[in-house]
Structure 1
Amino acid sequence: MPAYSSYPHRTGAVLILTAVAAGLLAGCGGGGGSASDNSSYTPNASPSVDPSLKVAAPLPTQGLLENPCSALTDAQLKDLGLVSPGKATQGQPALCGWSGEIQENHVNVGAVPQNNRGISDIYDQKSRQAYFQPVTVGGYPGVLADTQDGRASGSCTLWVGITDQLAFAVATSITTGENKANSCTSAQHVGEAVIEHLKGAA
Structure 2
Amino acid sequence: MKRVSVTAAMTAAILVGVTGCSTTSDGTPTTPSTPSSRIPSSAESSAPALPHSGAPKVNNPLPESALPENPCDAFTRDQVEAALGSDAPEGERDDDFATGPMCDWTDSASATIITVFFSTKTGEGLSAVYANTKPQTDFWETLPPIHGFPAVMTSFEEASEASCHVIVGLADHYTVSASVANPRKPHATNCDSAERLADMLVGNLLQRAGR
Pairwise TM-score range, normalised by the shorter structure: 0.7 to 0.9
Residue 58 of structure 1 is matched in structure 2 by 61
The CA deviation at 1:142 is 1.0
Segments of structure 1 that go 5 or more residues without pairing to the other structure are 1-9, 28-33
Segments of structure 2 that go 5 or more residues without pairing to the other structure are 22-28, 41-47
1 CA distance for matches of 2:91 and 2:162? 20
- The alignment-based identity, stated in percent, is 20
The 5 Å alignment of 1:55-134 reads 55-62=58-65, 64=67, 66-81=69-84, 83-92=88-97, 93-100=100-107, 102-125=109-132, 126-134=134-142
Which residue of 173, 182, 186 maps to 1:174?
182
Amino acid at match of 1:106: I
2 CA distance for matches of 1:133 and 1:141? 12
Which residue of 156, 160, 166 maps to 1:158?
166
The CA deviation at 1:181 is 4.4
1 CA distance for matches of 2:36 and 2:55? 25
The 5 Å alignment of 1:12-23 reads 12-23=6-17
Amino acid at match of 1:196: G
Once the two structures are superposed, what CA deviation does each residue of 1:56-106 show, in whole Å capped at 9, x if it has no partner? 222242464731111111122223236252111131242100134834211
The 5 Å alignment of 1:130-149 reads 130-136=138-144, 137-146=146-155, 148-149=156-157
Once the two structures are superposed, what CA deviation does each residue of 1:26-58 show, in whole Å capped at 9, x if it has no partner? 28xxxxxx7535962222459421587122222
TM-score, normalised by the number of residues in structure 1: 0.77
Number of residue pairs matched?
187
Which residue of 14, 18, 21 maps to 1:24?
18
Once the two structures are superposed, what CA deviation does each residue of 1:10-36 show, in whole Å capped at 9, x if it has no partner? 712112112222322228xxxxxx753
Residue 49 of structure 1 is matched in structure 2 by 51
Amino acid at match of 2:154: A
**If each structure's helix is expressed as a fraction of its own residues, which one has the higher value?**
1
1 CA distance for matches of 2:37 and 2:13? 22
Amino acid at match of 1:90: D
TM-score, normalised by the number of residues in structure 2: 0.74
Q: Rate the CA distance shift 1:59–1:179 in 2: closer, same or farther, 3 A.
A: farther
Q: Rate the CA distance shift 1:117–1:154 in 2: closer, same or farther, 3 A.
A: same
Amino acid at match of 1:138: H
Once the two structures are superposed, what CA deviation does each residue of 1:94-148 show, in whole Å capped at 9, x if it has no partner? 21001348342111111222331211211112222222111132321111123x3
Larger Rg over CA atoms = 2
Asked if the contact 2:55–2:130 (Cα under 8 Å) also holds between the matched residues in 1, the reply is no
